[in-house]
Structure 1
Amino acid sequence: MSNKIRARVEGLAVPAVIHTANLPQDTALKITGDATVDKSTTVDDKIVGELRVPSRTADGQGTVETRFRALVDAECDGAIAAGDYIKAGDHNSGVQCFKKWTPLGVSAGPVFTGDLPHLIVGQCWVGGADTETGTFLLF
């Protein structure tokens, strides 16, 4: 039995390469590469949205309805891969940039490393190296 959607708040719809052909609408999707998605298959997948317009061929064009509100191009503060969660980075000459968010973990002893969850501002759609331009989905 598939999930029954009872109510919907529309998010941002973005064109994407759909890795698996003929997925049903409303399939939960994860980012697998630059502007590329595939069906979510594991417990800890970072769900980006639901399939709206499926592709009839493998690696064909389709549309994903995301849970985000904006799609922006901005500078990367360090390397960021597609699918990574992002936080605000250091401003570079007054230009807004984004940095990869790192999950909170424990280092040696009682020392914590990483970032708190409330710092997440979105997810990387098209990645880039340090100082390159990436494309980001923002809440």
Structure 2
Amino acid sequence: MTTTAVLGLSGCASHKPVLYAHGGGMPPGGERAVAACTQQAHNAGLDYSKGHIGRSAVENGAVGGAGGAAAGAIYGNAARGAAAGAAGGVAAGLVRDIFHHDGGPAPAYRAYVDRCLRERGYQPVGWH
């Protein structure tokens, strides 16, 4: 794959690693290392955004189910309340994930790229 194609793939992501450099700026070879590590993550089957959508839906489903069970117990049918609460929680979580995704990388993708950069001698300090 050409350097242009690699840089094009890494350009699709809105956030990139920030590498520590004495005196600020990008350390020598940093841009190439970032491009190589993001390509390596892609080749390993990792997706920049995979894992974001649906995460809070599951959390909200659990919370909604517990809340619905409590409300259902008060009104005479805990099972129905739990099911309704869980369904509402999942729906709310999906909608929130879709509209409030910060554009940052998925945790596994970020960890992979950060580790790759550290193995190449760079010090990732965050993403922007």
State the TM-score, normalizing by the size of structure 1: 0.22
State the TM-score, normalizing by the size of structure 2: 0.23
Between structure 1 and structure 2, the one with the greater Rg is 2
Q: Which of the two has greater strand per residue?
A: 1
